Every structure is written in structure tokens, then in C-alpha cells.
Amino acid sequence: MKNGVSPDNAKVLKIIPLGGLGEIGLNMMVIEYGDDAIIIDAGLMFPEDYMLGIDIVIPDIDYIKQNASHILAVVLTHAHEDHIGALPYLLREVNVPVYGTPFTLGVVRRKLEEQAGLNAFTLNTFHAGELLHIGPFEVDPIRVSHSTVDGVGLAVRTPRGVIVHTGDFKINLSGQESAMTDVNSFARYGEKGVLALLSDSTNVEKRGYTLSDSEVADSLRRIAFDAEGRIVVALFASNVARIQQIVDIAEKKGCKVVFCGRSVELTVKIARELGYLKIPTGMELDIRRINDVAPRRLILITTGSQGEPMSALARMAAGTHKHIKIRKDDTIVFSSKVIPGNEKAIAGIINTIYRLGAKVVYEKTAPVHASGHAYQEELKTMMHLTRPTYFVPIHGEYRHLVHHARLAQSAGIPEENVILAENGHVIIFDDAGVHMGAPVTTGRVLVDGKGVGDVGRSVLKERQMLAEDGLVVVTIVFDEETGVIVYGPEIVSRGFVFWTATGHLLDDAQCVILEVVEEIGMDAPHRTDLIRSKVQKALRQYFNFTIKRRPIIVPVIMEL
């Protein structure tokens, strides 16, 4: 037996990424053995700038729907949205049990409760080190350190070998043992033989090691004790360990703690119920009583680290928060990384806070955040621990995957054993070794309100045009018997031009419309349809010629 493979086993093992390879977010992967399959994670991503009006983006799960009878379970690595956010949409299509650690399922349970009709699913709790038997798979969850609690990597034992999926991880050797990556368990699998290592690529471009959580705690402690007034810490709501650090600092300084923002309040509630967060009795203060405490004895933990316009911090800075407004003696700490795409929003809120006279501390000015994703040396350590035969970089944009593949080669993994895959690629392990199969359908599904997948490229293009060039609505009513205009042409524009400023433009546009109507005879077949089409074309040409803009033209042509 080599790498745990039975020589007489003829079934094929497949790894099929459906999201997360070639992008940040949408993490979802299928592992198949014969006719049985499990899904690892079901994540979302937040819309990019061009996705106007879109709430979230989820992976295309057509492949899962087509193979629903073969899916045995969903196994979750941790509670971040890019790993669990698409789960409600997946469970509407495939009713299978879900496995996760206590905190992960605590977050999932609340998420499913908020979705109508999603309360009849089986949620199975496991702890790191508890072996899961799911069909032909034995799944061993291995504790990993990340920027939320209760994260695990997965050693998936199959008859063809062990697949190690790191989840999101870093190798943190400081702090409590319960928060450290279990390097010994990964090493034990390396000694026995690992067929393939699937490893997080998010921070592969960064050299060295991640900043330790103890250094962040020291920095936050200095800031807290130097502050003359209130301290407001904005962070990712899921970062329970950071929240605990701040609570511990508050206890040492003799401060009260206030939690602001729905997501922070929800995380604190779940973490306290499960014992992951310990807050001394009497320390938590109701936000309505903040004026009862001296400013120097107050620490607020809030949402808004990414400059979200409706977050608690944004409302404080704008002066619209019901209970809190930023003051000159406040110290505002952004204890989080900047997610790509949020730079302008974060810079905007920082500038606003500075204008109010408060002090601002963020990642570029002090070590107030430690990434939850491994840097290069930690990634190489994971390779040395597991000693895989094959290596597959996961979780990252394509450049991250390429860098990680090269890093693996520099760590001693042969080039031919490094598999650079993307979403939809099918990695097959059989008697001949490893090769790529025919790709499966993947993609992105846009969620807009209650609509799932009903907004496509054409709708996004129209929204982009509306945003850039506006809308012009033309209304004309004809007498059905005579064909004579009885109302209009009336032109209404939105986001295009103002009537008071450029009335001549729309006056001339009316003339263009009347010329089109005159050109089409009263007895022309399908006259209204023809007028509608020609008015749209003529106005498009007219506006493009006169002001080089292309608004959406909506002719409303009726007969009475």
C-alpha cells in the first residue's frame, strides 16, 4: 500500500473545484470517489464594482444539482462568509447533512434561521480530532489558526490516498494551544503518506511569517493605555480572538466595553454561548448608558472596518448614530486588513474622522492587525510537514496560484507533481497516476434581492449604461382611428440632462421624433412598433452626435 492506496481498488478519485481557484472568495470544492462525493465549503464573494445593484455572488452549482444523488455531505472549514455564505442557496438544491465545528455551525444556524424555509436541515457538530465517517471517506478535522475561532483543515482519507485540505490557515506558535495550528497532526499524516496537499494561497506573495497575535495584543495595549478619551476599535465581526484581546485589555485598564453593530453583537452572543469568549461580569455596558462612564474608561468594539457606509462606525463619523458621535479626544483603531476594493471607502472614513479631530490608528501606522493567512515560510512549513506526492494551490487569484506553485517547486516538490488547476478543472487520480479530466461547468451566479441568477450580463450592461449615461423616456399617444398624435411627444430624462440647463437639447430631440413619425405613413403595417424602433435609433444617433453620450432610450408608444 502506497500513500494509503489499495492496489486492487479500481475506482477513480476526483477533486473538482467549483469556486475559489482564480478568485478570492466563492470557495467550494467537490471530492468524489466512485459514485460518492462530499462538498468542502460553500462560500460567496461580494460584488465587484461593475456589478451594480448586486447583493452577493455565489458559485454556479449546476454540477452539484446534476449529481445531487451522489452528494453525501457538506463539510465546513470555518465560519467566514467566503466559505459558508452560499450554504443557504446550496441547501435549497441539495438536502444533505452539514458538518462543522461548534462556532461555525452556530453562525450557520443563525444564517439558516434568517432564510425562510431553511430550518429542516441536519447540522452535525464535530471537534478537531474527531474522525467523521461519511460513505467511503474518513474526514479528520485538524485544528488550524485563523482570524476566526474553531477553524480546521481536513485530512480526507480515501481508498486511493489522503487528501489534505488546509482550509484558511496560518502557523501561529504563540498564545493559547487551542488557537494554534496543530502541526503535529499534519506531520503525522506526512509520515504516513499524503497523496495531495491542497493549500491556501491568499498570502503567498508575502515573504517571511505572519505577525503574531501577541504582537498585536501588545500594540493594542499600548494604544489603550496611552489614550486620553474613548477608544473605538473597528474590526471584522468574526474575529473572536481579537475581541477577546480587547476585552482582556479593558479588564486590565478598568474599562467598560460596548459592542456596536449587529454582526459584532451576533458574534459575541454566539461566542459567549459556546464558551469561546469570556467577558467578566459587569464589564459589558449597554450602549444607551455610555454617558454614565468617564470617556477614559470606555472601549467600543464596532463594525465598519471596511468603510461600509451603513456600519456603526460610519454613522458615528457622519454624526447620524443614535448614541455615539466621534469626539476630539477619541482614539479610533482599525484592527483589520484592507480588503481589495475597499481602499477608497476606508480612506474616506479615516479622513472624515481626522477632520473631527480624533486620533486614528490603522495597519500602516501601527501593528494592529495580524493576517489569518500564511506567509511564504509558513506555506513551505505546511509542505514540509505533510510531504505530499502532489500539490494543488487553492484559494486565490490566478497569480497567487502561480506563485504558490513555484514556491512548492522551490520547496522540493517536482514540477510534474504540481497541479495548477482552476475552477471547473477535474483532477483525476487513478491507476495511471494523475491527469486532468473533461472540465465541468462553473461560473458566478448573481444574487439581487430574492432573485438568484436572474441578473445576467445584459442586465448588468444596462445598469452600467444607466449609471454612466442615464435614461430618456419618450411617450407618444396616437389616435387609433386617425393615427394622429393626441399626446406628446413627451421626453423625460433621468441621470442624463437637466431641462432647465439644456432645454434646447430636448426641444431638438422632439423635432427628431416628429420627423420620424412623419416619415412613416399612416397605413404602414405594425406602425407603432416601427415608430418605436426608429425613434430609439434616431435619438441614440442624435444624442451621440450632439453631446457624445449614449443614454438608454425607452419609447412608450400607445394607441387610444
Contact 323, 232 (CB under 8 A): no
> How far apart are the C-alpha atoms of 453 and 322, rounded to whole Å?
37
Q: Which amino acid type is present at position 297?
A: R
- Nearest Cα neighbor of 308 from 244, 262, 358 is 262
pLDDT, position 118: 61
Q: What does the pLDDT profile of the chain (560 residues) look like in tens digits?
A: 344 444 444 599 999 999 999 999 999 999 999 999 999 999 998 876 666 666 788 999 999 999 999 999 999 999 999 999 999 999 988 999 999 999 999 999 988 888 766 667 899 999 999 999 999 999 999 999 999 999 999 999 999 999 999 999 999 876 676 789 999 999 999 999 999 999 999 999 999 999 998 999 999 999 999 999 999 999 999 999 999 999 999 999 999 999 999 999 999 999 999 999 999 999 999 999 999 999 999 999 999 999 888 899 999 999 999 999 999 999 999 999 887 778 888 999 999 999 999 999 999 999 999 999 999 999 999 999 999 999 999 999 999 999 999 999 999 999 999 999 999 999 999 999 999 999 999 998 887 666 565 566 666 676 676 777 788 899 999 988 888 888 989 888 887 765 545 557 778 888 999 988 888 888 888 888 899 999 999 998 988 888 888 888 899 988 88
Go through the domains of the chain in sequence order and give each one's CATH number: 13-208+371-448 (3.60.15.10), 213-361 (3.40.50.10710), 457-559 (3.10.20.580)
Grid cell in block for residue 80: 467566514
Contact 298, 231 (CB under 8 A): yes
pTM above 0.95, yes or no: no
Query: Which contacts (CB < 8 Å, 24+ apart) does range 263-272 have?
Result: 263/237, 263/303, 264/235, 264/237, 264/301, 264/302, 264/303, 264/312, 266/110, 266/237, 267/107, 267/237, 267/238, 267/240, 267/243, 268/243, 270/103, 270/106, 270/107, 270/110, 271/103, 271/149, 271/240, 271/243
pLDDT, position 453: 56
> How far apart are the C-alpha atoms of 503 and 99, rounded to whole Å?
64
Rounded to a whole number, what is the largest CA-CA distance in the chain? Answer: 90
pLDDT, position 135: 97
> How far apart are the C-alpha atoms of 96 and 75, rounded to whole Å?
10
Q: Which residue has the cell 493559547?
A: 176
Round the CA-based radius of gyration of the chain to a whole number and report it: 29
> How far apart are the C-alpha atoms of 537 and 200, rounded to whole Å?
51
pLDDT, position 1: 35
pLDDT, position 328: 95
Q: What are phi and psi of 33, to 5 degrees?
A: -135, 115
Grid cell in block for residue 123: 447540522
